[in-house]
Each structure stands twice: as C-alpha cells, then as structure tokens.
Amino acid sequence: MTSPHTQFVRQRWLGFALLIAAYMIGFFHRMAPGAVSADLMASFNTTAAALGSLAAAYYYIYTALQLPAGVVADTLGPRYSIGIFMLIAGAGSAIFGLAPSLEWAAVGRVLMGLGVSFTFVGLMKYNSLWFPERRYGLISGLTITLGNMGAIMAATPLAWAVEITEWRNVFLGIGIATAVVAAVIMGRVKNSPEDAGLPSLREMENEAPHAEPEHHWIKELGAALANPKVWPGFVAMFGMAGTVFAFAGLWGVPILRDLFELDRTAATSYTTVMLIGLAIGSMSSGSLSDYLGYRKPVIICFALLGVLGWAGLLWLDWTPGVLAYSLYLMIGISGGGISVIYAAVKETCPPLFAGMTIAVVNTGLFLGAAVAQPLFGWVLDQTWSGAMLDNIPRYAASDYDNGLLLFLALSSTGLVASLLLTETRCQNISKR
C-alpha cells in the first residue's frame, strides 16, 4: 500500500506540473507580440503607439483582475480558478488568430489576458499549500523559471514557426492546446492536500496548523491593501519587472530590426537570451535568498543590475553581437529578482490569505508592463519622422533613446522601492 507521504508527493508534483503548463501558455501569450510585431503592423496597418496598445490590452485586463484573482484563489481554489479561465484564454487565442481587424485582435488579446490572469496567483496559492515555507523562495524561482519556458517559445521558436506557417495558424493551435490543458487541470488538480484526502502540509511536517481566518475575505483583502509592508513590493515589481516584460514582449525585436536591419529570427535570438536570463535570475535569486536566509539584499542587487543594464543600452555604443547579448542577458537576469519579492511580501501577511497578498504585488508587475509597453510606443511616435518600409513604420536611434530613457527611469524607481522592503529572514513575520 502506498504511504501517505508518497501519495502526497505524487499529487503535489502532478498538480504543479499541470498548473505550470497553464502558466507557460500564459507566458507565451504575454511575449508573443514581439516576434510577430512586423506581421501585426502589416496586417492591421498600425503605428508604434497602436501596436503597443494592442499588445498591452493583455496587461490591462490582467492588471485589473489581479485582486479578484487573489480572492478567487483563496476562496474557490486553484483547480477551478485556473481551469475555467484557461478555457477563456483558449477562445481569446483563437479569436486573435482569426481577427479581421485591429479591433477584433484587441478583443482576442483582452480575452487571453482575462483567461490567464488567474493562473499565477492560483499557482502561487497552490505552492503555499503544498510546499514548505522554508523552500518558498526556491519554489517561487522554479515556478517563474519554468513559466519562462513559455516565454522563450514565444521568441525564436515562434519566429521559426511563423516562417513555416502564417502567424494566425500559430495562435489557433495554441488556443486548442490551451483548452485541452484547462480540461485536464479541472479533472486532476487538487486544491490542497486535504482535498486529496491527505494530511495537510503542516501535519506532514509535525507542525501546528495555521490559525483559521478571523474575518470575511473582504476584510482580509482590506488588511492586505492596508499593510504598508506590501506596497514597496508593488512598486519594485512595477519598475523591475514591468520594464523587462514590456521590452522582451514587444520592443526588444523592433529596436534591432530598425537600427541594425536584423531579420525576425536574428532579432528574436536576443529576446530569447533576455528570457533565458529571466529564467536564470528567477531560479538563482530564489535559491540564493533561501540559502542566505535574507530577502532584501538579494532583491536590491537584482534591481541594481537592471538599472545598469538599461543604462548600458541607452549610453553604451553597442551593436549586435557579444555586448548586445550581454546587455539583454543582464536585463533579463535582473527581472528574475521578482521571485524573491513574492516570497518577501508573502511572509509579511497571514499564510491563509497568501493569494490576496501575492495578487496585490503581482498587480504592480502587470500595471508596470501595461503602462510601459504603450508608453514606449507613444514616446517613439512623438519624434518619428514618418519613415516607412514595407508598410511598417521605421524609427531612428534617437526615437529609441527616448524610450530607453523612460525604461531607465522606471527601473530606477523599482530600485528605490526595493530599499524600502521589510526583511523577513525567510520566515512569516505576521501575527497569524
């Protein structure tokens, strides 16, 4: 007969694997516009500002739904909060692929953002119930690292796919795959060990259970919003990760195309390196933080690395090659510091409402991307000469310098916020 511990481990990793698959799909949708930016501009006859708004439509709805996602994760649980909404994401991907106009593409993009907006918070809630607190930094890093595999698929591999078939067919296929993953999640994932008929995590480790919630979830959400220890994490996410996601997900390819005439495949190799850096940073920052027993110094170092990377893109005389790859990699690694921010902020609030706390912080990340992505395009359009090539606007180095200066300022804001975070020493410091 299989022991409870063996059953626990099997069910934990099965659920984690299925939810990670959903998270990877969400990352793919998040980053895909960068690889097909020229196709979108040509198909819908857009300028940089319009393209930025189309790509950011995902982030607008994602940002708006992060607090509801936290509530749903804490009340309904990851199984259905992720499974049901991933069906919506699949429909959005199909609509995006079939879109006859920019407006319909925006509808599809919004539905994609709506559908995957519950995935990360639900997954982090799942992690808080199935993995011990002393390893939460590591598992957070692993989560984001694996999610980034979906982002990497949206760079060079997507560019290859678009060379073989039309970009629309890719999004139709992803829509079908999303629906299949959603169905399996609803059939196999368990919200908690207790739902699987197993002892709780704390029972498995011979520890006393956490206190039951004292208030309705509305009051608990209010407590999370009123916690001053949460908001530096929100702002740090906004500056550190919002810029990385906005650049890797859209503007990292056009800057290489316009300034150095790189083709799609060559340009996406740089954003692939940036996303690999994000994966490396996510894993290394979480494990390093757990090893050292500190959160704040690790976050500060990664935030500083990001500031230096954006400054390098802005002021160094770089061209495609080793230096450009190094700067893209540096910026990507810096964004990986967010895995420690989740852990640090979660440890300032009651564990039973980890979903709401993570949702508040996660809102900062996606609000940052939602603001940065179209704002970068708007900045480009302000000084654009009107040059066109193959029905696609072409921007000059001075235009991109203005956008990079914007990202440097946002990244610096994230660095300042990281200095204001509360050190938890990798332990929950809330009173409940």
Query: Where in the chain are the domains?
Result: 10-194+220-418
Q: Which of 89-98, 111-120, 129-138, 185-194 has the lowest mean pLDDT?
A: 129-138
Note the pLDDT of residue 59: 86
* C-alpha neighbours within 13 Å on the C-beta side of residue 210: 20
Note the pLDDT of residue 392: 82
Q: What is the pLDDT of residues 362-391, one digit of tens each?
A: 889 889 988 999 999 999 999 999 898 877
Q: Give 249's DSSP letter.
A: I
Q: Which of 119-133, 244-258, 280-294 has the lowest mean pLDDT?
A: 119-133
Of residues 26 and 124, the one with the higher pLDDT is: 26
Note the pLDDT of residue 343: 84
Report whether 331 contacts 21 (CB < 8 A). no
Report whether 366 contacts 29 (CB < 8 A). no
Of all residues in the chain, what percent carry a pLDDT higher than 90? 46
Note the pLDDT of residue 295: 92
208 — pLDDT class (breaks 50, 70, 90) = low
Q: What is the pLDDT of residues 89-114, one digit of tens each?
A: 999 999 999 999 999 999 999 999 99
| Highest mean pLDDT (candidates 73-87, 298-312, 349-363) | 298-312
Report whether 414 contacts 240 (CB < 8 A). yes
Of all residues in the chain, what percent carry a pLDDT higher than 70? 93
Residue 69 has pLDDT above 90, yes or no: no
* Torsion sign over Cα 140, 146, 147, 149: positive
Q: Residue range 73-96: average pLDDT?
A: 91
Q: What is the pLDDT of residues 282-324, one digit of tens each?
A: 888 988 998 898 999 999 999 999 999 999 999 999 999 999 9
432 — pLDDT class (breaks 50, 70, 90) = very low
Please provide the average confidence, as pLDDT, over all residues in the chain: 87
Note the pLDDT of residue 220: 67
- Which residues lie below 8 Å from residue 425, measured CB to CB, with a gap of 6+? 293, 294, 295
Return the residue matching tokens 């694997």: 17
Q: How many residues does the chain have?
A: 432
Q: Is 323 helix (H, G, I), strand (E, B) or coil?
A: helix
Report whether 18 contacts 189 (CB < 8 A). yes
Residue 214 has pLDDT above 70, yes or no: no
Can you say whether residue 86 is alpha, beta or left, with left for phi > 0 and alpha for psi between -120 and 50 degrees? alpha
CATH of 10-194+220-418, one of 3.30.70.980, 3.20.20.140, 1.20.1250.20, 1.20.58.760: 1.20.1250.20
Q: What is the pLDDT of residues 13-60, one digit of tens each?
A: 999 999 999 999 998 988 888 888 888 988 888 888 888 888 888 888
Angle of helix 136-153 relative to helix 264-292, nearest 10 degrees? Answer: 180
Note the pLDDT of residue 131: 84
Q: Where are the alpha helices (DSSP H) in 293-353?
A: 296-315, 322-335, 338-346
Residue 276 has pLDDT above 80, yes or no: yes
